[in-house]
Structure 1
Amino acid sequence: MRLFLSECYRLDHAICDRKFFEWQFQADPSDGNASVLCGWENDRLVGILGYLPFSVHWGELGNPYPAVWLLYWMVRKETQRGLGWLLTKRIQEKYTLLLTVNASELGGPFFKKLGWAFFPRVARYTCVFDKKQCVPLLFPSAIESDLDKMIFRPIFPDPDSITEVALNKENYHPDWKLYSGLSFGTVRSLSYLTWRYFKHPVFKYYVILKGEAQRPAVCIYRIEKAFGIYDALVGRIVDFFHPDDKQGKTDGLILMQGVLQYLKNKGCSYVDFICSNRTYSQTFLDLGADEEPNDRQILPVRITPIQHTLRHQNFAFLAPQGGHFPVLENMHITKSDIDGDGPALIPKNDSR
């Protein structure tokens, strides 16, 4: 496996780091087995496909459905065509609900041929804290006045201060029937959030709650240091959800404003939020954010280093025959789903 990864990826790519690999593919500490399907030619590893089984809400809150997320599909260039298809078909034989994000240019058409629903763009929203800092980061096709439509506008005069929490059964056991916005998406269980955020080998995530344990509003974010043509701090909202009722929406709005105010006070130039769900993204819009256009970008997505390359997060799924087939806006797909929010490289002197 190590030889395959070193020959197919950059040596500083995250997947080539053992600690990251074992976390990403949930390697068993007792025997090292990981959730990776392998393709072989004789004794030579020629292709891999990662798969992570997780419970997913699929139209029935409180009745999780077994699903699998696919990630890191890679086949050697010189390998006979068809191996990628065989690996995917093998997974499809075991699961009836499959999902993936950030398929490559080849992957998108490939999944569509296999009958998957493919969405080329999950909406991205941006909110500006410091216009002066953002000007040097603008895409060449953008102009300074584009930033005026996405300036942070607090609603509450005295927002709550935010405090990071360590999740546990006492402070986090949501009644999922209160969260219609999560009707289609990964179950945000305590075990899932612990693996995805608290055990991440590279990024430092912050989880903030507001409300009672059975009905919390939840916001998860991190701060990234942009470098290249300009140095800046950028906030990343990677997940956000709240109960449906009036109190839940209010808690969500107060929570989101508190997080944005904190990011502004920390010196972030802007913050972004990739989210398919219109209910939860509306809270971000209410505080001054704006949705990114379909055909161009104002501020960069890739910032380590800064790249002015048009890039959208895509999403695809294969649903059970005769089952629910939701529109993207009713699903909850975010930047952090499985491997959507990953490091561009592993820092040589990583402090985590």
Structure 2
Amino acid sequence: MEVRLFRRDETDLLQLSIDTLWAKNHVLSRDKQLLNYMFYDNPVSQEIFGEENYGFLGTWLDGRPIGLMGLMAFDLNVKGMKKFGFAPTNWIVPPEYRHTGAGLLLMREMFKWNPSVVLNLGITSNVARMYTGMGGYHVLPDVPRWIGLLQKRKTAEMLLNGDVKFLRFYQEITAVYNQTTYHVERRFDPERWNACYWATFAKRSIGFARGASFINWRYFQHPSFTYQLFTCMDDKGNYQGLMVLRIESILGGQAKIGRLVEFMANDQDSAICLANKVVEIGNENELLFIDFYCFSSISSWGLESVGFKRVLKSESDKLVVPTRFQPIDLETTHMMAALYVSKDVQKKISLIDDQAWYITKGDADQDRPN
């Protein structure tokens, strides 16, 4: 059995393998541009895997693929130190081939690159149980999600069968008065952002690096989605924060929601300025609500100041608003994750710091077309 990366000239074979092994008619089996964007055009991918390869592993038996593991490679920031990590998009071996050990071979091949972090975002409960027993992995059964309501009653009517009790402790978000010299603009200067990020936010956070090369690739070069990016500047023109949001049409175009995928602020003024901009965009576009996923509370202060609430779930309150809309899913309302952290990185971080990990839905492949 052979384990190797798919070559750049094997695009058709890779797409066929995705269709037959992963999911019939999967978007990556249909959209060559999206496939290239995620697994080849990524600025770190070619550095790790070489210009001749995709970031996609396969296991071959008798000359044909029987297993897949997609690997998105990223620079990793550990409080200002740069390392690298992976965000696997799948780990697939059909049941009839699992006796061959192909899945284990894929996992071993991935770890030959010695990643400092491996993020599996959006996993199922079955996959989570598998990761629970693997060394170095930690399972997060419910990635923290913040909700900002803009139209409470309409949200209940359209998404919750008219039952407002799910939202009984949520109020509609509203801007906060802020007398400051800071201002927000819809523009992006790579050099100024790098200066801001690496000197400030990077030094107090852990996660895939949000330098200018990542921002440019992830949001300006995306082949399918349109993102709105805003930066906050002080009176000297220095960047103090950044926010990225995508407007999503749901229910066949009958309504819209907002997906906040980045929210980084250096201080209270920048946090409020950016949060106020989120409220403004929501009102201007008549959104039902806006959500934001993040592993920790590092970005929550500004959002909570304008009325966002972190979802609190219990056996009696399993639902606030859905997260899947094609079709509306009132059962699966959480996102699970597994995170491998190398021993080297574990020595450099505090396990009790609740404002360090910055991992959002902008990571991995969770914010993409279906």
- The TM-score range, normalised by the shorter chain, is 0.7 to 0.9
Question: Which shows bigger deviation, 148-157 or 42-51?
Answer: 148-157
In the alignment, the residues of structure 1 paired with residue 25 and residue 345 of structure 2 have an alpha-carbon distance, to the nearest angstrom, of: 42
Q: Secondary structure at the match of 1:302?
A: coil
TM superposition score normalised by structure 1? 0.86
**1:123/1:181 CA distance change after superposition, 3 Å:** farther
Deviation sequence 1:40-89 (CA, Å, 0-9, x none): 1111111111122222122x32x212222222222223212432222112
**1:122 touches 1:315 (CA, 8 Å); kept in 2?**
yes
In the alignment, the residues of structure 2 paired with residue 3 and residue 200 of structure 1 have an alpha-carbon distance, to the nearest angstrom, of: 23
Query: Which stretches in structure 2 are left out of the alignment for 5+ residues?
Result: 1-13
Quick one: percent identity of the two aligned structures?
Answer: 19
Relative contact order higher in (CA < 8 Å, ≥ 6 apart): 1
Q: State whether structure 2 residue 89 is matched by structure 1 residue 75.
A: no
Aligned to 2:278: 259
In the alignment, the residues of structure 1 paired with residue 65 and residue 280 of structure 2 have an alpha-carbon distance, to the nearest angstrom, of: 49
Question: Which shows bigger deviation, 181-190 or 330-339?
Answer: 181-190
Q: State whether structure 2 residue 17 is matched by structure 1 residue 4.
A: yes
Q: Secondary structure at the match of 2:213?
A: helix
**1:171/1:113 CA distance change after superposition, 3 Å:** closer
Q: State whether structure 2 residue 269 is matched by structure 1 residue 250.
A: yes
In structure 2, give the amino acid aligned to 1:282.
W
Aligned to 2:251: 227
TM superposition score normalised by structure 2? 0.82
Q: Secondary structure at the match of 2:231?
A: strand
Aligned to 1:102: 122
**1:106/1:141 CA distance change after superposition, 3 Å:** farther
Aligned to 1:125: 146
Aligned to 2:328: 306
Q: State whether structure 2 residue 113 is matched by structure 1 residue 113.
A: no
In the alignment, the residues of structure 1 paired with residue 149 and residue 124 of structure 2 have an alpha-carbon distance, to the nearest angstrom, of: 30
**1:175 touches 1:214 (CA, 8 Å); kept in 2?**
no
Shift of residue 327, structure 1, vs aligned partner: 5.0
**2:321 touches 2:333 (CA, 8 Å); kept in 1?**
no
Q: Secondary structure at the match of 1:318?
A: strand
Computed over aligned residues only, the root mean square deviation of the Cα atoms, in angstroms, reads 2.7
Aligned to 1:24: 38
Decide which structure has greater helix share: 2
In structure 1, give the amino acid aligned to 2:247.
I
**1:134 touches 1:270 (CA, 8 Å); kept in 2?**
yes
Which of 185, 193, 200 is equivalent to 1:178? 200
Deviation sequence 1:14-55 (CA, Å, 0-9, x none): 453111111111256x97621011111111111111122222
In the alignment, the residues of structure 2 paired with residue 220 and residue 309 of structure 1 have an alpha-carbon distance, to the nearest angstrom, of: 28
Shift of residue 145, structure 1, vs aligned partner: 6.3
Question: Which shows bigger deviation, 109-118 or 322-331?
Answer: 322-331
The aligned runs of 1:27-176 (5 Å cut-off) are: 33-58=53-78, 60-61=79-80, 63-81=81-99, 82-100=101-119, 101-115=121-135, 116-139=137-160, 143-144=164-165, 146-156=167-177, 163-170=185-192, 172-176=194-198
Shift of residue 154, structure 1, vs aligned partner: 1.9
In the alignment, the residues of structure 1 paired with residue 51 and residue 297 of structure 2 have an alpha-carbon distance, to the nearest angstrom, of: 43
In structure 1, give the amino acid aligned to 2:331.
T
Report the count of equivalent residues: 336
Shift of residue 195, structure 1, vs aligned partner: 1.1
Q: State whether structure 2 residue 356 is matched by structure 1 residue 343.
A: no
In the alignment, the residues of structure 1 paired with residue 219 and residue 204 of structure 2 have an alpha-carbon distance, to the nearest angstrom, of: 19
Query: Which stretches in structure 1 are left out of the alignment for 5+ residues?
Result: 345-352
In structure 1, give the amino acid aligned to 2:141.
P
In the alignment, the residues of structure 2 paired with residue 77 and residue 124 of structure 1 have an alpha-carbon distance, to the nearest angstrom, of: 34
